[in-house]
Amino acid sequence: MKISKKEFENLSKLASLSFESNNENIVSDLEKILSRFESLSKIDTFNVEPTSHVTSLENSMREDKTKTILSNEEILQNSPENTSGQIKIPRVFDNE
Amino acid sequence: MNKLLELSTTELSNLISTKKISSEELVSESLNHIKNNDPKINSFITVLEKDALNKAKELDNKLSKNEIDHSFLTGIPIMLKDNISTKGIKTTAASKILENYVSPYDSFVTKKILNNNGIIIGKGNLDEFAMGSSNETSYFGVVKNPWDTNRVPGGSSGGPAAAVSAGFVSCSLGSDTGGSIRQPASLCGVSGMKPTYGTVSRYGLIAFASSLDQIGPIARTAEDCGNILNVISGKDNNDSTSYEKDFNNFNSKINDDINGLKIGVPKDYLKNVDPKIKTILEESIKEFEELGAVVEEIELPLTEYCMDVYYIIAPSEASSNLSRYDGVKYGFRSSNKDNSRASLVDSRSEGFGDEVKRRIMIGTYTLSAGYYDAYYKKAQQIRTLIVKEFYNAFKRFDVLLAPTSPTTAFKINEKTNDPIKMYQSDLCTIPVNIAGLPAISIPAGFDNNLPVGIQIIGPQNGDQKVIQFAHKFQENTKWHLKYPKI
């Protein structure tokens, strides 16, 4: 199978990753790996329920109550940049 | 190496409880050995030298005054794989993106160990985000196999397996998504167990593929693994997939006979396995037969599809789980400050290594509109069929016996340029995660002075049986007592 340049760009965008130069390796790896998956179409899965997890647990819920787990300081200690008790990020909108 | 460091965790625990050794003595010996020899192996990302020694002294003091009760891990040094969160201690997942991340909270298992007065002596090296089979994708460098330092220790729990093999610690905790405890245990000549999915809470385990991830022990013996599972298992309200077992002792069957019990050997696991490993498996079968077990071949035809099912499900879940790394709240942030989108993309692109990016891309593809049904849903449907295939097998057999790894430890860089070849290292371990089963790898022989493991697989919640068979094997063999010279 082939992944077109446009498809690869779209995929990178969805994954929030950039592969500037030298992306031939990743493209060919992806093509090889995804090609393998074609063999799965041989298996008849008509009317088979998908399994998302293997425990037979159902409705494993907790009470919908808020609780404080970490303080503001504890949360901020790992932030790359913060100011006045808040996380700072680069601007969201470009200048016109 | 000090003889103390060759003992199993169970033996050490007995020595501490009878006050024949102190925790300080044991921790000091461990630290010395780590200091002198880990630079050759690189199994630790962080060594907690001062903390561990102080804790040991404090515990010895409390034990001498009978201020605390002795429990299995009391005073025992243990290594945690560095994707297990430890409050106030770096938890890196061996990634540049978390290089300086200090966890503000303890994982469920960390708390369990600390509450039982275990001593966390350090954090173990791994493949970045536990994605790999050789420990070569770690941002902190490859771990070397203590049996041959030109070779890989396996992965992704390469550090935890190599550290037990080298005698730095008697036990460690790893995580297993597709074989990440069992395959390195096999390649390093130690015992490693992935319990039934849901046995151990994943709260505080840095998520890779949530429906497959499970924490488990690596140690000298199956009995050690059971004793450690007794400490770390249990229902946790912070992990809705964890649950309480209807038994409370993983080792309660170890003295039971296996006479007349049935072992199935799935021949579909042997297709791509080295001949010498097949020979060792056959010798193990004879050993079990001598112990009275009945061994028969079994067909599990869906085995050949497991790797592809896994490489759809695991990357899909990973691509979703790893979307949280955005350089905003924690972790590496790129110096690109143009705008927040550029910062996000560059932080991820500079922060993740190649294998992690490859898997995020696979998962993004298999989950994307137009492909979801053909890939992700299809894989989940086949997963249902695989679960059924195992379920039917366990109507006839108590456990299944298979190789853990198709090869012994391979050379560093031997497979790094061929991801598919690398992925095939987990052919024999992946099916177990897909079906959420318990399985242990234990040493069963050597090929060219490299250890070979065998894998005992049980039905869901058959963890005790798995340990029972492994313990019987270890009572009658000496492979698990061999040490590498480092």
Q: Model confidence over A72-86: pLDDT tens digits?
A: 999 999 999 999 999
Of B102, B329, B337, the CB nearest to A87: B329
Rounded Cα–Cα distance for residues A13 and A9 (Å): 6
Q: Is the Cβ pair A79, B330 closer than 8 Å?
A: yes
User: From the CA of A15, how many Å to the nearest CA of chain B?
Assistant: 6
Q: Inform me whether the pLDDT recorded for B159 exceeds 90.
A: yes
DSSP state of B65: T
B478 touches chain A (CB under 8 A): no
B378-413: pLDDT as tens digits = 999 999 999 999 999 999 999 999 999 999 999 999
pLDDT at B462: 98
pLDDT band at B22 (very low <50, low <70, confident <90, very high): very high
Q: Which residues of B touch A64 (CB under 8 A)?
A: none
Q: Over chain B, what is the mean pLDDT? A: 97
pLDDT band at B375 (very low <50, low <70, confident <90, very high): very high
- pLDDT at residue A22 greater than cutoff 80: no
Q: Spell out a b/e string for B347-385, using b for 16 or more CB atoms within 10 Å of the CB, else e.
A: bbbbbbbebbbbbbbbbbbbbbeebeeebbbbbbbbbbb
> Minimum mean pLDDT among A22-26, B138-142, B288-292: which range?
A22-26
Inform me whether the pLDDT recorded for A20 exceeds 80: no
What six digits make up the tokens of B433? 């995660």
By residue count, chain B amounts to 486
Candidates A37, A88, A93: best to mutate against B (most CBs of B within 10 A) is A37
Which regions of B306-430 does DSSP assign to beta strands (E)? Answer: 399-403
Contact A33 B311 (CB under 8 A): yes
Closest listed residue to residue B440, CA positions, set B181, B202, B233, B243 = B181
Confidence of residue A93 (pLDDT cuts 50, 70, 90): confident
With an 8 Å Cβ cutoff, are A15 and B435 in contact?
A: no
**Is B104's Cβ below 8 Å from some Cβ in A?**
yes
**Residues of B catalogued as catalytic:** 81, 156, 180
What mean pLDDT do residues A52-80 have?
89
Amino acid B89: pLDDT? 98
What H or E segment, with its residue span, contains residue A82? strand A82-83
Q: How far apart are CA B250 and CA B129, in angstroms?
A: 29
pTM equals: 0.97
SS3 state at B145? strand
Across the interface, do A61 and B243 touch by the CB < 8 Å criterion?
no
pLDDT band with cut points at 50, 70 and 90 for residue B192: very high
- In this structure, chain A runs to a length of 96
Pick from A14, A50, A54: CB nearest B364: A14
Bigger pLDDT: A68 vs B138: B138
- The ipTM is 0.95
Q: Cα–Cα distance between B138 and B155 in angstroms, integer? A: 10
Q: What is the pLDDT of residues B203-247, one digit of tens each?
A: 999 999 999 999 999 999 999 999 999 999 999 999 999 999 989
The helix/strand/coil state of B102 is strand
**d(Cα B455, Cα B441) in Å, to the nearest integer?**
4
Least reliable range by pLDDT among A7-11, A55-59, B124-128, B423-427: A55-59
**pLDDT tens digit sequence for B436-483:** 999 999 999 999 999 999 999 999 999 999 999 999 999 999 999 999
The closest CB to that of A39, out of B308, B352, B419, belongs to B308
Tokens of B91: 């938890």
Containing B281, the helix (H) or strand (E) segment is helix B275-290
pLDDT of residue B16: 97
Q: What is the pLDDT of residues B41-72, one digit of tens each?
A: 999 999 999 999 999 999 999 999 999 999 99
Residue A23 burial (10 A CB sphere; 0-12, 13-18, 19+): middle
Residues of A in contact with B348 (CB under 8 A): 16-17
E strand or H helix at B376: none
Gap between the Cα atoms of B462 and B399, Å rounded: 8
For position B57, what pLDDT does the model report? 98
Helix (H) or strand (E) holding B419: helix B419-423
Contact A17 B343 (CB under 8 A): no
Residue of B nearest to A69 (CA): B105
* Contact state of A91 with B309 under an 8 Å Cβ cutoff: no
Count the Cβ atoms, other than its own, within 10 Å of residue B430.
Answer: 26
Three-state secondary-structure class, residue B122: strand
Residues of chain A in contact with residue B365, where contact means CB-CB under 8 angstroms, are 11, 30, 34
Query: What is the spatial distance between Cα B362 and Cα B369, in angstroms, rounded to a whole number?
Result: 14
Q: Give chain B's domains with CATH numbers.
A: 3-261+397-481 (3.90.1300.10), 307-361 (no CATH)
A34 to chain B: closest CA residue:
B362
CA atoms of B118 and B63, how far apart (whole Å): 13
pLDDT in tens, B90-136: 999 999 999 999 999 999 999 999 999 999 999 999 999 999 999 99
Q: What is the pLDDT of residue A95?
A: 61
- For residue B99, the chain A residue with the least C-alpha distance is A78
Confidence of residue B85 (pLDDT cuts 50, 70, 90): very high
What does the DSSP assignment read for B202-260? Answer: -TTBPPS-TTT-EEEEEESSHHHHHHHHHHH-S-BTTBTT----S-S-TTTTTTS--TT
B277, pLDDT greater than 90: yes
Euclidean distance between CA atoms B126 and B180, whole angstroms: 9
Contact B479, B234 (CB under 8 A): no
Q: Taking CB atoms and an 8 Å limit, are B361 and A26 in contact across chains?
A: yes
Short-list B219, B220, B283, CA closest to B445:
B283
